[in-house]
Amino acid sequence: MTGIRWRWEEQDFGFRFKSGKGKNTAEYYQASKPGEYYVVPPGQRKLDKEQMDSLAEGATIPTASNVIVNPWSNYDLHWDWIESADGICLNYAGCLHQEEIARREDEGVARAREFLVGLLDRPEPSPLTVSLVRHVHRELMGDIYPFAGEWRTVALHKGDGPTKWPLPPSGIQPIIDTFERDILNRTPFLADDNEAVYSFISELMNEFIVIHPFREGNGRTAFILGDLILMQNSLLPLSEYDQHRHEAAYYAACEAGRLQKNYGPLAHLIAEWEEEARARWEGTTHEQ
């Protein structure tokens, strides 16, 4: 898949150096503060010996390091089960700071948008497919998490709010099949009426967020999928940061979609954001 930069060797969940031999061998990873490292016990290592040895050959062992306890729990389970006590998932950078994760996610958004531009260059509008949705998520999260593009295998509960996303007994795939049948199969969605476009995007985003198919990045993925529909209708893409400016209204709109299948509130927000984007674009054009 073009555009996805897999860098297992360089990132390797924050791998920095290896020391010792035999039973005393330890693999050290970057910890939460500069100069601090944590050690991964032999029984919890995800890389095989040959790969570890290859990485260790080119690593520089620090002259001094403070070694702390391994911050990741459930390390023997699937990738999306592994997280720190603060809820930060195992990631290629070994990062334990949400600010750094957010910065890397911003870079992923830029990659995903580049991928959308490539789709717009095709002779015919591209339909949204399950494969394309997974590809978008890999572009978005593939430089951060090993589970990018894979359906989650855990229940989710984000923030302090009451909203939870349980794991269905049969997993995510059956629900995605329904989402594909009822929503994705109606794409490419092309209409002369902008209100119809906003309404469809609201339904698409709401139903996607209800499913929350991925371990991380569901909201960003929903915005990017909506952007494709907008741009295929000669409208401007949205900024996911608009949701932060209107956070309460955005969450309320998502709740209306989740609880009542009322897509109107989010459609209204999308129309408002599109109008603001158009005003910004026209202002920039006039300045030039």
Distances from the Cα of 106 to the Cα of 87, 109, 149, angstroms: 19, 5, 17
Q: What is the residue type of 203?
A: E
User: Is the pLDDT higher at 101 or at 221?
Assistant: 221
Q: Which residues pair with 28 in a beta bridge?
A: 17, 39
Decide the pairing of beta strands 15-19 and 66-68.
unpaired
Give residue 3's pLDDT: 28
Buried residues in 210-244 as b, exposed as e (16+ CB within 10 A): bbbbbbbbbbbbbbbbbbbbbbbbebbbbbbebbe
Summarize pLDDT for 127-168 with one digit per residue, the tens: 999 999 999 999 999 888 889 999 999 999 876 666 789 999
Q: In the chain, where are the structural domains located?
A: 8-81, 98-151+168-287
Does position 28 have pLDDT exceeding 70, yes or no? yes
Q: Kindly report the CATH class assigned to 98-151+168-287.
A: mainly alpha
Summarize pLDDT for 95-105 with one digit per residue, the tens: 777 887 888 88
Quote the percentage of the chain above a pLDDT of 70.
78
Does position 123 have pLDDT exceeding 70, yes or no? yes
Q: How far apart are CA 244 and CA 212, in angstroms?
A: 19
Does position 13 have pLDDT exceeding 60, yes or no? no
| Mean pLDDT on 217-231 | 95
Give residue 246's pLDDT: 85
Does position 277 have pLDDT exceeding 50, yes or no? yes
Q: How far apart are CA 198 and CA 193, in angstroms?
A: 9
Does position 17 have pLDDT exceeding 60, yes or no? yes
| CA 217 to mean position of chain CA atoms | 3
Six-digit token string for 257: 């979609």
Could you count the other beta carbons within 10 Å of the beta carbon of residue 85? 9
Q: How far apart are CA 271 and CA 288, in angstroms?
A: 26
Give residue 244's pLDDT: 74
Question: Which residue from 102, 120, 116 is spatially nearest to 219, judged by alpha carbons?
Answer: 102
Contact assessment for residue 38 and residue 31, using Cβ atoms and an 8 Å cutoff: yes
Six-digit token string for 139: 């572009």
- Using pLDDT thresholds of 50, 70 and 90, give the confidence band for residue 7: very low
Contact assessment for residue 261 and residue 199, using Cβ atoms and an 8 Å cutoff: no
Give residue 86's pLDDT: 82
User: Is the pLDDT higher at 268 or at 19?
Assistant: 268
Q: Residue 110: helix, strand or coil by DSSP?
A: helix
- Using pLDDT thresholds of 50, 70 and 90, give the confidence band for residue 272: very high
Q: Which of 46-50, 213-217, 219-223, 272-276 has the lowest mean pLDDT?
A: 46-50
Six-digit token string for 64: 């001094």
Could you count the other beta carbons within 10 Å of the beta carbon of residue 157? 13
Give residue 1's pLDDT: 27
The model carries a pTM of 0.82
Q: Mean pLDDT in the chain?
A: 83
| Mean pLDDT on 185-199 | 97
